[in-house]
Chain A
């Protein structure tokens, strides 16, 4: 048994080595192609992902990681319950939009406005997710289709609202007015990192506890493993679907609110769509096979790759397109390696299936 496990570890190490060698090889080739210096690009990559003066780049990475991880956690809750909710983007936009508008128009002390706006954002995200769930339960629109299609109306509703009725005309941009400065999330002392990441950490912690330790999370997972089983043993499948979607949507809405109060301080058209937070979140979840504790780490990985690649472009003169290709190459190899390892380990756990 012992030698078996050791050889498995060895195999694992070798295949990681192979994956890393491939990444290095392909990146080298790409850089040779555009004539960028390899060493300089590499150090620019690392510097921009994790370094900077007073670690400012690391803070940028973390801020981005928070948003991606938040979306990843939101998606994970749905996926684990077997619900293919790919409407995270719409739920995120609904949250961001409502957060900004609520903060602009709610009267009262700043802390109350902030709290109420975040709550409103979560309700908005949950509502948008529930819409997809109701479409499935009552009209038979598959969740995969319904949730995806619902991304578009909310995106254009948001664009319209900040382009016309609520536009900050003076700024000349398609964006809302700034939310009151007193409601902005403060930075951690001595850094440029807002405390929004704490909200995301709390949401992640909630998701981990929910998934592993609650009755509801247990039921949701049974439904995810086998919907036929869940129906047969009489789990309340319809209710489970709606509640899970509402939770998913509320977390997406929270991410939208964090982006507003922590990063942009207003709703700018496209600010939640263009960086592909929701989609990156989905990939981040698939990468680690929906294991709750690994989801935030996966979000950090994607954020680091993205800020690092952007930095390579800035400091080492690697063209943006090539930086994006490199980013894709890294993700591809790491993803294939990680999911390969996860599949192998789950097969080992299953022990070869029905041994009659």
Chain B
């Protein structure tokens, strides 16, 4: 099926998210749509999928004008979309999730699960996908959940597949598997739209590239007619940021000391873990998601109780203190989940920016809020962290992912605490914002703060860390100095306990 978007324009209030964009999606091709967060990629695809109604422009399927009243309309006409945030029912099985809203009705209106099962088997076999259909989704890894989303589209006989940042949650191996599946779709004559900001993936998989910047389409054509550098320049609209220089500095006093920490995890206890983070260094924790990093961070921040062991912050024991006291002692935390933990989406930017500040007197008068002072502080953050948003009184929900993240990072770093904990700080964020956030973390290190960085993106850990700890199955599988790190060694530690015999990690 041929899809054409003609002159699409979308406005949210005063903000023009997409302006007069036209592009064509051809069957048997992978079409990469790249651009910074806030460039309008997701909005454009939401238009195609019927989630957003455009102010102007038309959608054409095989030359016929279409107008969607809802995503169901688009699905009926052979479109499928995998969103950045998965839309699955955790307590239901894989099979139930896939047939949901498209159940094959048998006699008496009962759901004919066996028919669905055999059809799914055929689809999975055809594209080389293997997945246990009866497991509850709650017990699947993030990568497996994505496979469920992809199968869901195939089950609905989608001819055009839209994937929004599909690899941001995957390990390198899972990514390879996904790409193999997508190649199989291409061979089968399906059209694939890949929204991404990772240029390596574009170079690896795409046939056609469209570059968006600030709501406009700046370039569209075959991949063979362009180069990685040219695409990158198109995305940022100018020269690329220079490679990062690392100032040499000797680490100072230990700021965070964790000894023999054990935490309750979803599948058994995590730990015992011991680690130290000194002033003026970035310690990176690498590992595939779900190997105990989340539990470790929850225990350090005070969000989850420690079963045993000790945590000391700036030389003071904090194992039994609550989140508020730990933060006051000198801890900032950039959580992985900005939608739920990092921000209150229903509140304004200003309200989000001021939450969790220690100097409450700066924005209150007695028991009353000083709204003007709150707005001033938020405006300061908006300016300093180059957050693209309507203003301090805009709702947090109106920002794009990268800008939401910048707000969280800005709020936390502005507290200027001795310890900064950053958990996947650039998850689903564009090149410009990644560079900016990395720069800020480096600046904190250079100014003598201790930074604990947890990331499932190996490149990120390697680019920033002075020391790298690798977590596997709830324990620290090994330590590598940042300068000596190579992907092979770390990759091996990420998947085996072989390095447990190494001397204790300090």
Contacts and interface: CB of A to CB of B under 8 A. Distances in A.
Interface stretch (B24-32, B89-97, B343-351, B435-443): B343-351
Contacts of A231: 303, 323, 341
Interface stretch (A15-23, A59-67, A123-131, A222-230): A222-230
Contact of A356 (B38, B301, B356, B395): B38
A233 interface: yes
Nearest to A217: B369
B341 A221 contact: no
Interface in A316-356: 349-356
Contacts of A216: 367
Contact of A233 (B43, B355, B368, B369): B355
Given A234-B324, A356-B402, A222 B351 contact: yes
B395 A349 contact: yes
Contact of A235 (B39, B324, B397): B324
Contacts of A228: 337, 340-341
B267 to A, nearest CB: 22
B12 interface: yes
A353 B83 CA distance: 13
A221 to B, nearest CB: 7
A228 B340 CA distance: 6
B40 A234 contact: no
Interface string B385-407: 00000000001011111101000
A356 B429 CA distance: 10
Contacts of A213: 368-369
A234 B323 contact: yes
Name which of A216, A221, A225 has the most chain B CB atoms within 10 A of its CB: A225
B426 interface: no
Q: Is the interface of A mostly helix, strand, loop or mixed?
A: helix
A329 B303 CA distance: 47
Contact of B355 (A222, A350, A352, A353): A222
Nearest to A226: B344
Contact of A229 (B38, B341, B364): B341
A221 B347 contact: yes
A226 B397 CA distance: 13
B41 interface: yes
A355 B324 contact: no
B68 to A, nearest CB: 15
Contacts of B364: 215
Contact of A352 (B12, B301, B327, B341): B12
B342 interface: yes
B52 interface: yes
A232 interface: yes
A351 B12 contact: yes
Contacts of B342: 229, 232
Interface range on chain A (Cβ under 8 Å from partner): 20 to 34
A236 interface: yes
Given A222-B347, A228-B341, A229-B355, A234 B326 contact: yes
A229 B42 contact: no
A356 B37 contact: yes
Contacts of A353: 397-398
Given A226-B340, A229-B355, A232-B333, A356 B345 contact: no
A352 B52 contact: yes
Contact of B369 (A215, A226, A356): A215
A214 interface: yes
Contacts of B324: 234-236
B13 interface: yes
Contacts of B42: 354-356
Nearest to B37: A356
Most buried by A among B41, B344, B351: B344
Contacts of A279: none
B327 to A, nearest CB: 4
A218 interface: yes
A230 B341 CA distance: 8
A228 B355 CA distance: 13
Contacts of A351: 12-13, 15, 395, 397-398
Contacts of B402: 356
Contact of B360 (A215, A221, A354, A355): A215
Contacts of B399: 354
A246 to B, nearest CB: 16
Given A219-B355, A234-B326, 14 more contacts: A218-B369, A221-B347, A222-B347, A222-B355, A226-B341, A226-B345, A232-B303, A232-B335, A233-B355, A233-B356, A354-B42, A354-B397, A355-B42, A356-B42
Interface of B: 10, 12-13, 15, 17, 37-43, 52, 301, 303, 322-324, 326-328, 333, 335, 337, 340-347, 351, 355-356, 360, 364, 367-369, 395, 397-402, 404
4 nearest interchain CB pairs?
A: A233-B356, A234-B324, A356-B42, A351-B12
18 contacts: A214-B367, A218-B369, A219-B355, A226-B340, A231-B303, A232-B341, A233-B327, A234-B328, A235-B324, A236-B324, A349-B395, A353-B398, A354-B42, A355-B12, A355-B17, A355-B398, A356-B37, A356-B40
